[in-house]
Homo-oligomer: A and B are copies of this chain.
Amino acid sequence: MRRWNGWGDDTISFALAPDALAFLAERVGDGHGVTDASFEQACAQVAPSRLPPHRLIETAAPVRVRHALGQSLPDWLKLRYGRIGATPDGVAFPESADDVRELLHYAQRYHVALIPHGGGTSVAGHLTAEAGALPVLSVSTTRMCRLQHLDHESQLATFGAGVFGPDLEAQLRAHGFTLGHFPQSFEYSTLGGWIVTRSSGQQSLRYGRIEQLFAGGVMETPAGRLDIQTFPASAAGTDLREIVLGSEGRMGILTEATVRVTPAPEYEAFHAVFYPDWHSAERAVRELAQAKLGLSMLRLSNGVETQTMLALAGHKKLIGVLEAYLSLRGCGEGKCMLMIGASGDRAQARAAMAQALTLARKRGGVHIGRKLGDKWKQNRFRNVYLRNAAWEHGYVIDTVETAVDWPRVESTMLAVEAAARQALAVHGEHVHTYTHLSHLYAQGASVYTTFVYRLAGNFDEDMARWRTLKGAVSQAIVDCGGTISHQHGVGSDHAPYLAAEKGEIGMAAMAAIFRHFDPQGVMNPGKLLPNVQPSQPSRAPSQGIAA
């Protein structure tokens, strides 16, 4: 069953080896585990529902707790310490677009805030049930999850928007196709969630970001049903898909989406190449990205991340042999690991990989074959369980990500890491921080930084540490000219930094779009943008529940 206060399924755990723990202790000090609050304790806090009854809405405490929060660190702190805060007043489980329409009417009539809920994996506070004085209804999309149509010829598949990653892939693989969208949250996130937060998968180099995969769909909005037809391309005015993408629940609820699929790859390989230092590695990966070889993945870890991954891998002897070999080949301390993926038609993918390896070696890369790559692929959705394991030993693992043009990649990485270290120094704590470039573009790269530090053991202090650190790194991103999110969206946590990149005029335009679709301001209020003022007086509530 889904873990209610941590990542993933509660039957899956991913232990930290003693060596790994020693590695962390050496860097940030001994961790001290915290006793989690129980699910029952959490449920006991839930206030009576303020919602008028409706056939689609459940108001029992357990379901409300399970839809109250996401997977951001502050969400975890609330769950683990049993300080849940606001929960939605109810959770609806619509099974069709018409059900969703009905819920929108209900929300407008009773002036209830709606929070669309897909897989609940947001790491940016998209799900927080705070809506001023309004009652809150969480709307789960997960019962709209069927493959509705598959057009083999155009390679288009239409799904209910609440389909989870594995169910989507299983339904496609049965017909020989793949979407190829594999964010780390893949197992527990939904197609609709990917679309409205502009998600990017680990193999976006081949398959594209969700923006490129989303061909059309249906969104129910307070202003009506927005039905977006599919075209291979169009020059006819505004691309309505782009209004839906990144809308984060502010304009409506996506009920179905048509996506561009690809024949399942007949070949896939991930190879590891090491570089002696960051500069040679960054230069090599830029050349690889700009050469447009048709690869499916490029992922470059900096020195500390490389060291950390090898330390946490748990095969001390094997890793020792590898490191000795790499050292002989000039890759000692500070070495950086580059993972290269190729997928697709066998001949094409192998040719692309061969070209990539030739280019990678030309820049001083040491190719060590597929073993680490196979391991990475095997654990691609498992590594995130390390967050659970670390927590149990008293450590926090948190991340931020941005994207910048090439001239700012290194400086942004250094600034974000430095900001994190300084931020917790104020709290007398060390931060172990490391970075990888997760997505490579001709124009630049995403910069994905991880922070490991100790839990204080009490909610307020841990929340304060997170706030200090998150504020410092977000400010560093903005100061470096990075986007506040490359792949996780804005939600509550990044909203204060959005104006830095959109500008006042851009923010006003976004607000105008959402106000148009949602004049009463009932759609996920407070997320993405500061709350939008209703453009018309809200209707008088007929049951006295509204503010």
Q: List 8 A-B contacts (CB under 8 A).
A: A153-B286, A154-B442, A156-B405, A228-B506, A231-B443, A231-B501, A232-B439, A291-B348
Contacts A224-B505, A510-B237 given; indicate if A403 touches B155 (C-beta within 8 A): no
Q: Interface digits, A209-237 against B, CB 8 Å rule (1 contact, 0 not)?
A: 10100010000010111111111111111
The size of the chain A interface, using a CB distance under 8 A, is 90
A488 CA / B237 CA spacing, docked (Å): 10
B405 and A151 form a contact (CB under 8 A)? yes
A48 within 8 A of B: no
Pick from B236, B260, B345: contact of A498, CB under 8 Å: B236
A528 within 8 A of B: yes
A484 within 8 A of B: yes
Contacts A227-B503, A229-B501, A508-B223 given; indicate if A235 touches B291 (C-beta within 8 A): no
Q: Interface digits, A329-355 against B, CB 8 Å rule (1 contact, 0 not)?
A: 000000000000000110010010001
A233 and B246 form a contact (CB under 8 A)? no
A22 within 8 A of B: no
> Across chains A and B, which 6 residue pairs bring their CB atoms closest together, nearest first?
A242-B242, A232-B444, A232-B441, A198-B235, A512-B516, A234-B483
Contacts A232-B446, A501-B229 given; indicate if A238 touches B441 (C-beta within 8 A): no
A487 and B235 form a contact (CB under 8 A)? yes
A263 CA / B260 CA spacing, docked (Å): 29
B406 and A153 form a contact (CB under 8 A)? yes
Q: Min CB distance, A50 to chain B, in Å? A: 30
Query: A251's closest neighbor in chain B, by CB?
Result: B509
Q: Min CB distance, A410 to chain B, in Å? A: 11
Q: Interface digits, A303-335 against B, CB 8 Å rule (1 contact, 0 not)?
A: 000000000000000000000000000000000
Query: A223's closest neighbor in chain B, by CB?
Result: B505
Q: Interface digits, A158-202 against B, CB 8 Å rule (1 contact, 0 not)?
A: 000000000000000000000000000000000000000111100
Q: Which of A230, A235, A485, A490 has the most CB of B within 10 A?
A: A235
Pick from B228, B233, B405: contact of A230, CB under 8 Å: B405
Residues of B with C-beta under 8 A to A484? 236
A294 CA / B513 CA spacing, docked (Å): 37
B345 and A509 form a contact (CB under 8 A)? no
A405 and B154 form a contact (CB under 8 A)? yes
Query: A233's closest neighbor in chain B, by CB?
Result: B403
Residues of B with C-beta under 8 A to A446? 232-233
Residues of B with C-beta under 8 A to A293? 348
Q: Min CB distance, A191 to chain B, in Å? A: 15
A407 within 8 A of B: yes
B154 and A505 form a contact (CB under 8 A)? no
Known: A232-B442, A238-B245. 14 other contacts (CB 8 A): A155-B443, A197-B235, A209-B233, A234-B485, A235-B488, A236-B501, A237-B529, A238-B246, A238-B247, A239-B242, A240-B502, A240-B506, A262-B442, A351-B351
